[in-house]
Structure 1
């Protein structure tokens, strides 16, 4: 639903939807607290304001309308799904990607009603972080939720967290999917032990500021990013732990300790992806390349200096995992199949640009490659300890540069 259009003025929008001030701020709009400035700037059309910021009008309109829609709907949907029912038959816990959380919860609410299911669900936005989720994981497997959904490696493989239950073999992939989407061909992304389900992935891509590129070679591969040419020139999503850990692990696997050191030396600054899309407007030294989730590239303006580049050697991916308890297979099977369905896959892929593993979803990718950590590597390493080790190498290389 479109709540606003490009002809409306900023003052009209703020009067009708005051909560959108946060959205405007996140896209680089300033001075709204100054009434005099707002009376002047706020009188021009939204379209003119967006173009002055060199942002995509269509993408901005889609984003702000989604923001309003989510703000209206999220509270009610969240309350419905987070209600704790002591007599619930099934419990679900996890983190859902922010851009698609509301449509996913809407679909889930509809599914529950159609199937008359008594479920306790606590599915928070990924931006809330993992700390609360880690606290909910007890040493006794009988106390953990029946289904877990989240992205990243540390939660699912650390021995102090879900890793301990993997060793006890209490999980089973009950989605019924035997072959993943053709976009993941030859990656062997399906768990050979049949413990874990992967329903989607978060790809890391490059956003290149061509105004800052100078005589440097346009970066098309991860090797380019790690070259001496790009020292102190890169912005990384350090605060996005799921994706950052995936980047660290894959760089370590492909390039060893030296690769992780080079990544640390390449770091100019850490940014949230929402900041990355407007990094060309920073007053201080600007990153030449920002490494970010694929979703955020849709917020860049057409014809501006920021150019998205899918790495030619592959976008490093952070999988969105789903774990389901084996001893409740009969009760959980239909729910697992729902979350792994084409319907959910299309929401993830088409609305969030999180490519789905479902074989019948068209991810609308043009033979773009992925870099996947691999089950052999996962199963032969203590992933939790390796993440900590890579972080130490990365942080030390930053200190050496300083």
Structure 2
């Protein structure tokens, strides 16, 4: 029977040592254990004990079930992990968790290859674990990490996710585990309050959410100029949002509306929006389709998508909603990872981000904002006082309930 100390191992390593545990997890309803995204990006970091805790399972009963399943199983007693976790007898080595928005994946991949080629052959280089915007990734599960060993040596992530949650920051942002990073901001973004008061998280760029409208399809209604305008009942049924109602496409919008106007306003959005609307449908609707004349989408898509007709991109009054792109690094790994840290916080990454319509925060870089435009961030005061998970779940539930109630 595996002993209790084995639960401190990463999920990927525990599954390698105890193959029968995969079947046990599946029978207990832990869907993540069969999810390729989870195995690739979260299982090498999250301990088996933490996975059990997140799913409300008894460690004692789980170990007994694994022992029973292992004794009844046939074949070899071990396996090679589906995804190489980089584990060696000396430990896991340097590891980087990398999560990038779509417009950065290709150019940053090339830039990272060039950086590695520029270093000496014996220079430290981490094993990289990348997510692909799915569920069950380390972004989603970071709020449930409890041990320093579960935290990657470097985190490069995007969005309002578990790494910014109060739970994660309360456990790991103090005590010297994470290195302090520079917080100087580009003047055009300074008013947004992006500098981390604990100084361990560096927001290196933002992904702004903007509005798009086709005036000729608004039937005389004025073009909305702010996110608050979307709450006007006159726009009901005319606003498209990418993604299903259960995720509401972008939690940044729902969280902003929830915190500024309450859950009733989130429900109003649920009754007003058309979900599962790809942004391209707003730009170039199919013949005969009744595409919504208003869309909410990242600025990079609004600027990159081919357009026809009188499409107008609106940088909202009060600021585009800023989804953060950020970096954290462990103090013990900082010296070894300095070339990577300098890259993500330096001019090359700033230029790549600006070229993708993701305003960089580096002072002196091209912030790529329209004249007079601003961004607004959820706020460190919110992140320091409330856990994101319950807020997102509450907002999403109110939105989905209202969305489906109009069809009843």
**What TM-score, normalized by structure 1, do the two folds share?**
0.71
* Equivalent residue for 1:148, pick from 147, 151, 155: 155
Aligned mates of 1:311, 1:273 — CA distance in 2: 17
Distance 1:139 1:382, change over 3 A: closer
Q: Detail structure 1 runs of 4+ shifted over 6 Å in the superposition.
A: 159-163, 240-243
Alpha-carbon contact 1:276-1:292 (below 8 Å) kept: no
Distance 1:136 1:267, change over 3 A: closer
Aligned mates of 1:140, 1:194 — CA distance in 2: 21
Distance 1:243 1:394, change over 3 A: closer
Does 1:331 pair with 2:339?
Answer: no
Aligned mates of 1:135, 1:314 — CA distance in 2: 27
Aligned mates of 1:272, 1:90 — CA distance in 2: 39
Task: Tell me the SS of whatever aligns to 2:110.
Answer: helix
* Equivalent residue for 1:388, pick from 386, 393, 400: 393
Deviation by residue 1:74-93 (Cα, 9 ceiling, x = unmatched): xxxxxxxx994747752111
Q: Which residue of 2 aligns with 1:26?
A: none
Aligned mates of 1:249, 1:219 — CA distance in 2: 19
Deviation at 1:112, TM superposition (A): 2.1
Does 1:226 pair with 2:227?
Answer: no
Alpha-carbon contact 1:243-1:318 (below 8 Å) kept: no
Deviation at 1:263, TM superposition (A): 1.6
Q: Which residue of 2 aligns with 1:267?
A: 273
Alpha-carbon contact 2:156-2:327 (below 8 Å) kept: yes
Does 1:379 pair with 2:384?
Answer: yes
Greater mean alpha carbon deviation, residues 155-164 or residues 304-313 = 155-164
Deviation at 1:129, TM superposition (A): 2.0
Deviation at 1:320, TM superposition (A): 0.9
Deviation at 1:333, TM superposition (A): 3.5
Deviation by residue 1:175-209 (Cα, 9 ceiling, x = unmatched): xx331112212222110111211111111111112
Q: Which residue of 2 aligns with 1:42?
A: none
Greater mean alpha carbon deviation, residues 86-95 or residues 318-327 = 86-95
* Equivalent residue for 2:347, pick from 342, 348, 351: 342
Q: Which residue of 1 aligns with 2:365?
A: 361
Which runs of structure 2 are paired with 1:1-400 in the superposition (5 Å)? 84=86, 86=88, 89-116=93-120, 117-122=123-128, 124=130, 126=132, 128-133=133-138, 139-158=146-165, 164-166=171-173, 170-174=177-181, 177-238=182-243, 244-278=250-284, 280-281=285-286, 283-301=288-306, 304-350=309-355, 352-365=356-369, 366-400=371-405
Distance 1:385 1:169, change over 3 A: farther
Deviation by residue 1:233-288 (Cα, 9 ceiling, x = unmatched): 1111336969711111111122122221222122122234455543x336343212
Aligned mates of 2:248, 2:342 — CA distance in 1: 24
Distance 1:100 1:239, change over 3 A: farther
Alpha-carbon contact 2:204-2:325 (below 8 Å) kept: yes
Distance 1:114 1:207, change over 3 A: same
Extract unaligned runs of 5+ from structure 1.
1-81
Deviation by residue 1:204-234 (Cα, 9 ceiling, x = unmatched): 1111122321121111111211111111211
Aligned mates of 1:239, 1:169 — CA distance in 2: 41
Aligned mates of 1:106, 1:182 — CA distance in 2: 29
Q: Which residue of 1 aligns with 2:20?
A: none
Distance 1:160 1:283, change over 3 A: farther
**What TM-score, normalized by structure 2, do the two folds share?**
0.70
Structure label with greater radius of gyration: 2
Deviation at 1:100, TM superposition (A): 2.3
Extract unaligned runs of 5+ from structure 2.
1-83
Alpha-carbon contact 1:226-1:259 (below 8 Å) kept: yes
Distance 1:266 1:135, change over 3 A: closer
Q: Whose helix proportion is higher, 1 or 2?
A: 1
